[in-house]
Chain A
């Protein structure tokens, strides 16, 4: 019963990650169209459109990279072998991508400050720190697993 519940949870998690990954790619590609054709000038000044487009595309690429890396980590979990050095490096790369998004939105402060921007900076900084700590936890787990695998 527990295994069936866990499999259902894994299935929905995989579905959600895949959906966000592919829709993220689509949205990234459509950003220029959205910024220049769909958003009226009452909501966004003409002078900031180019800057917003650059920030959104670059942060979108970083976000899609995070999701792609997460997909890879999740596959190792489904193969019942998550504690590997590759996952440690993947988590560190995810942290770097999260910090990149924080930096991009910090840059956004200079041309269009909003409260939401400040919240995004804070959230992605915390996400980056969380990923770094998790990478260290995984590294310790890899050492314990190796020790256990080589215990006869």
Chain B
């Protein structure tokens, strides 16, 4: 998938665990794990807002776009 979620990197920088962040963001640890492991298909703006507030970062710190290999520019 072209969109990479770097949530684990930000979580390590802020020294916050999965369960703690899930509590702060008001979603289940299972759902947060889906996001962290790049399995999510979509993210709501409200969830993104809560994650950015909890980790004190910008959406660009968590989400990254990469070209597919062999993708024509």
Contacts and interface: CB of A to CB of B under 8 A. Distances in A.
A and B from one complex: yes
Task: Say what secondary structure dominates the interface of chain A.
Answer: mixed
Nearest to B33: A152
Interface string B29-43: 001101100011111
Contacts of B58: none
Interface residues of A, number: 5
Q: Interface size class for chain B? A: 10 to 19
Nearest to B40: A152
Interface of B: 27, 31-32, 34-35, 39-44, 47
23 contacts: A146-B41, A147-B41, A147-B42, A150-B34, A150-B39, A150-B40, A150-B41, A150-B42, A151-B40, A151-B41, A151-B42, A151-B43, A151-B44, A152-B27, A152-B31, A152-B32, A152-B34, A152-B35, A152-B40, A152-B42, A152-B43, A152-B44, A152-B47
